[in-house]
Amino acid sequence: MKQRDDQRDAPIVVAGLSKTYQVPEREGGFGAAVRSFVRRRYRDVHAVQEVSFTIGAGEVVGFLGPNGAGKTTTLKMLAGLLHPTGGSARVLGYTPWERNNDYLRTMTLVMGQRNRLSWDIPAADSFLLNQAIYRISDEDYRRTLGELDELLELSPIMRKPVRNLSLGERMKCELAAGLLHRPQVLFLDEPTIGLDITAQVRIRNFLQEYNRRTGATILLTSHYMADVTALCERIVMIHHGQLKYDGSIADLSRRIAPFKLVGLALHDGAAPDLSRYGTLLPNDDGDGKQRLQVPAADVAAVTTRLLSELPVLDLTIEDPPIEDVIERAFHE
């Protein structure tokens, strides 16, 4: 069914979305294996439970959660690969799992851990196949490939068989294959997984630029917080399939970790009792500084005292690492 009536509204609207998998269950041993042929028992795995969120046009949102939280299951439902057990979702006005061709031509799902390029042929050949599948005109194909080449530097790599590419080169080609049809909505599942820092930064910069140029809406999962802080102002967090947080990283940080870290280097020989100024943290940064955890509201007063009372060589004020904030939020 074609449903373009609410396209003016938010491109992604998820309401009470749920997915329960039925997993066959049996005990170990030969007897149990035989019995399971006769009567198979199933266990319910509630992978996604009544999750709701709305994503506006052009937003880049980080979708976070620990292993097994239900992120991939949610993305697969939104990409039309899985039917939910409950709730609804509308993406660009379509119900994803109805798999309307117009819908499939306007979104993409790129999974960092799955290959969709053929291993034995050059990516350039898979791109041509995608041109045919998505019915992209020659003119649009040339233009988009040109842009992707400019941003991802594909020319040196797209004519080699995919099996001969490095992980980072393959990921660039995977992204290009997923974007040739210029989707308006991108679901990205760990797009930088396994890449070295340089390649991660490249992909990150590319996604930023793609979003700026095309206004595409992006929902992405990543276990690298640097991806999330660089790309997303907003995060949606799930845990055990349930929505845990939806909002800005800064608000989460203020709520979960309302303190700052004051880094302090003192002149040689000075060894005062720093616990009078805040909570002294183990020094594991290797930068020779001691770190004090200080309530955000007291930072100005505490640093004034430190500077006037101690022989300070260097003093820094830092936000708590985002990894710590997210970790605390999951266990709140």
Ligand X SMILES: Nc1ncnc2c1ncn2[C@@H]1O[C@H](COP(=O)(O)OP(=O)(O)OP(=O)(O)O)[C@@H](O)[C@H]1O
Shortest distance in whole angstroms from residue 234 CB to ligand X: 18
> Least distance in Å: CB of 52 to ligand X?
17
Nearer to ligand X, 26 or 105 (CB): 26
Which range binds ligand X by CB under 6 A, 1-9, 69-77, 120-128, 279-287?
Answer: 69-77
Name the residue nearer to ligand X (CB basis): 44 or 102. Answer: 44
**Which of 73, 184, 200, 217 touches ligand X by CB under 6 A?**
73
Q: According to CB under 6 A, which one of 4, 16, 23, 314 is a site residue for ligand X?
A: 23
Asked whether position 71 contacts ligand X by CB under 6 A, the answer is yes
Query: CB-wise, 83 or 276, nearer to ligand X?
Result: 83
Q: Are 83 and 53 in contact (CB under 8 A)?
A: no
Edge-first strand order for the sheet with 86-91 is 41-55, 12-25, 86-91
Number of residues in contact with ligand X under rule CB under 6 A: 12
What letter would DSSP give residue 100? Answer: -
Choices 62-70, 89-97, 177-185, 203-211; region in contact with ligand X by CB under 6 A: 62-70
Per CB under 6 A, 122 contacts ligand X: no
Question: In angstroms, what is the minimal distance from the CB of 81 to ligand X?
Answer: 11
Residue 16 binds ligand X (CB under 6 A)? no
- The yes or no reply on residue 220 touching ligand X (CB under 6 A) is no
Residue 299 phi, psi (nearest 5): -60, -45
Which residues, numbered 31-50, are part of the site for ligand X (CB under 6 A)?
A: 45, 47
CB of 30 to ligand X, least distance (A): 24
Does position 62 interact with ligand X (CB under 6 A)? The reply is no
Six-digit token pair at 90? 């509308």
Q: Give the range of 71-79, 86-94, 121-129, 205-213 binding ligand X by CB under 6 A.
A: 71-79
Is 69 a binder of ligand X (CB under 6 A)?
yes
67 binds ligand X (CB under 6 A): yes
To the nearest 10°, report the CA torsion of 165, 168, 169, 172: 140
Asked if residue 21 binds ligand X (CB under 6 A), the reply is yes
The pair of three-digit structure tokens given for residue 327, joined into one six-digit string: 């970790």
| Cβ atoms within 10 Å, residue 72 | 23
Residue 61: which of 179, 198, 238, 202 has the closest Cα?
Answer: 238
Least Å distance, CB 73 to ligand X, is 3
| Contact pick of 65, 93, 112, 178 for ligand X (by CB under 6 A) | 65
By DSSP bridging, strand 185-189 and strand 107-111 are parallel
Q: Strand 290-295 and strand 259-266: pairing?
A: antiparallel
Angle, CA of 296, 297 and 301, to the nearest 5°: 105
Under the binding rule (CB under 6 A), the answer on residue 68 touching ligand X is yes
CA distance 301 to 305: 6
Residue 227: other Cβ atoms inside 10 A: 23
Task: Out of 49, 60, 64, 70, name the contact with ligand X by CB under 6 A.
Answer: 70
User: For residues 328 and 252, is the Cβ–Cβ distance under 8 A?
Assistant: no
- Provide the minimum distance between the beta carbon of 223 and ligand X in the complex, in angstroms, as a whole number: 7
Answer yes or no whether residue 237 interacts with ligand X by CB under 6 A: no
Q: Enumerate the H helices of the chain as residue ranges.
A: 30-38, 71-78, 101-104, 123-133, 138-152, 167-179, 197-214, 225-231, 249-256, 299-309, 322-330
- Which residue pairs from 297-303 have beta carbons closer than 8 angstroms and sit at least 24 positions apart in sequence? 297/258, 299/260, 299/262, 302/262, 302/277, 302/278, 303/262
Q: Is 275 in the site for ligand X (CB under 6 A)?
A: no
Residues of this chain that bind ligand X (CB under 6 A) = 21, 23, 45, 47, 65, 67-73
